[in-house]
Chain A
């Protein structure tokens, strides 16, 4: 009987992003090559079931849970909002990521049945959003400035970005010898929608004044850049998104190196790339300064209706100028969030006929443990995650992986995934934050991944 390569396992996507540490480093899954193009190859060829081969969704808020804000109790909502705002700081963020693979496939190009040269390709759609919590603005809105005289409210905390894009990719994986694999994947990005407001600066402060009680000092320097959004109306169908027409290029790099028969290290970099936005661009800029000390009505000529009105008009004009919105269509460049994965793995426990009598892959180990590091570049900083996992072949056709992940936000994220194989079809399903699974409102993040692939392996 043909031995089929097995799929996947589990995946804990842990918090907030594209972290797929279960898929990462799992040769049974074709999708693992999208995370590390230098991964191991275990199939002769495969294709993903269109639209179903990889579905990923993740939503998370680093600082608080839905329960903190919406608990069905007697505490007034305003009080909850205030409590939540007091808990959060400028490094907290809301993040969401979604991916759906439209097409994918791969095949070994060696004629001798070896898998020393392997090509893979595909097309997927991705949406990624991140919004940082603007702590100072929130405090200003909730408290006002009266108890914050002298406090500088920073506008550089205003950071948000949203992008939706199509990614066409083709990769080459080379098995140099039994120890070393490396690979590279080229990507063409087609931006559907982009909106980002990252490089904001400026301050607002109410300070003791000279001529009056206070000077209110406004220094605004804000910019929102968009492409593919202009002229979009809610009644447009999805097809309207395709008119964006902004392209970018990127590359993934990866390698796997066997230190011993049982111990492996691997690492990859994903999405080292950019998108140039030059079509359908609309940018909004506010860049003005103004200091308000009050209204000074005292002039030698005594009041007339005109002068009284004029004092005010001048103030009003100054405020209008302060928030004057300029529009431009200047081209701009965005960089994709670069992802770094690395792992140290140890496999142990060879086949036991009580569990499975059909192991015949090279390693043949039933158990795996390892530690994985994940990092992603974000507008404000680099976010990291550390995962330890246990991997188990339960049957030859059923594999499980459990993960425990920590990052700066959560120390209690347990994930579990499974990969099952029915004939040539592989199915995998992964979920994380299992401790909060009974009530997702108490989870800071939740993610799910699943997919179907058709896999062929001669061996």
Chain B
């Protein structure tokens, strides 16, 4: 049986264990200030249509200007408004119509006021082979980012360039226009905010 003498021997052992054991050189408070910088990439708007479906009016005559719009409620979402520090939009336009055109892309707010706009010039196709036009639009700095973060609608307006040979677009015009777009969102997510 254990007697007092033994206890005296054990006690310091346990005291030692209890006193030397601790958690040190760590700072758990830093977890409150976590910053991460993911980069998201997402497809945005796309279309692919023969010229004779949108550069032609109901009477079969050439329309000098075609327009379409789409509501996009992601740019002014809380997540992007709080965390987006830079955005890069990439557009790729393929044209196989023997007419050049200019594409104006407007970013509108909920009041339909233009927040940001730019145009992309696309050359006419020769022999109905694809002419590829790339455009990169960068949103950086307060002004551009604020414009993007108040956007909830993108409007695409295609304006035909003058015809080099006098020909007009009608129901029989060959060729199509294809547009692809993506956005790269650079984020700065801070748990402290």
Contact = CB atoms under 8 A, between A and B. Distances in A.
A302 B68 contact: yes
Interface string A300-326: 101100011101100010000000000
Nearest to B45: A295
B43 A297 contact: no
Nearest to B152: A312
Contacts of B45: 294-297
Interface stretch (A20-28, A32-40, A206-214, A282-290): A206-214
A418 B180 CA distance: 72
Interface string A54-91: 00000000000011001110001110011000000000
Contacts of A440: 21-23
Contacts of B155: 303
Given A147-B39, A420-B2, A312 B73 contact: yes
Nearest to A142: B36
A422 interface: yes
Contacts of B79: none
B182 A213 contact: yes
Contacts of B144: none
Interface stretch (A166-174, A186-194, A265-273, A394-402): A394-402
Contacts of A390: none
Interface stretch (A116-124, A347-355, A431-439): A431-439
Contacts of B38: 140-144
A71 B181 contact: no
Nearest to A434: B17
B70 A67 contact: no
A71 B28 CA distance: 8
Interface residues of chain A: helix, strand, loop or mixed (majority): mixed
B68 A293 contact: no
A102 interface: no
A308 B70 contact: yes
Nearest to A143: B38
Contacts of A307: 69
A213 B48 CA distance: 13
Given A212-B180, A294-B43, A398 B10 contact: yes
A438 B17 CA distance: 9
B34 A78 contact: yes
Interface residues of A, number: 62
Q: Quick one: which of B10, B33, B66 has the most chain A CB within 10 A?
A: B10
A441 B34 CA distance: 20
A82 B22 CA distance: 26
Contact of A146 (B2, B40, B44): B40
Contacts of B39: 143-147
A92 to B, nearest CB: 19
A294 B49 contact: no
**Looking at chain B, what size class is its interface with the partner chain?**
35 or more
A441 B40 contact: no
A299 interface: yes
Given A77-B34, A298-B47, A440-B22, A212 B181 contact: yes
Nearest to B33: A77
A216 B25 contact: no
Contacts of A1: 1
Contacts of B184: 146
Contact of B42 (A76, A78, A216, A422): A216
Most buried by B among A66, A143, A146, A421: A146
Contact of A297 (B20, B23, B27, B69): B69
A424 B74 CA distance: 72
B20 A294 contact: no
A66 B22 CA distance: 13
A215 interface: yes
B24 interface: yes
B43 A209 contact: yes
Interface in B46-71: 46-49, 53-54, 66-71
Contact of A213 (B3, B10, B68, B181): B181
Contact of A144 (B31, B40, B49, B181): B40
Contacts of B15: none
A149 B23 contact: no
A303 B69 contact: yes
B117 interface: no
Nearest to B178: A211
A214 B41 contact: yes
Contact of B26 (A211, A398, A441): A441
A429 interface: yes
A144 B41 contact: yes
A343 interface: no
A441 B23 CA distance: 5
23 contacts: A72-B26, A77-B31, A144-B38, A144-B39, A144-B185, A145-B39, A213-B43, A213-B92, A214-B182, A216-B43, A294-B44, A297-B69, A298-B47, A298-B48, A298-B68, A303-B68, A308-B68, A308-B153, A311-B70, A398-B6, A437-B20, A438-B20, A440-B23
Given A67-B25, A147-B39, A300-B53, 4 more contacts: A66-B23, A146-B184, A295-B44, A295-B72
Interface of A: 1, 4, 66-67, 70-72, 76-78, 81-82, 140-147, 149, 206, 209, 211-216, 292-300, 302-303, 307-309, 311-312, 316, 395-398, 418, 420-423, 429, 431, 437-441
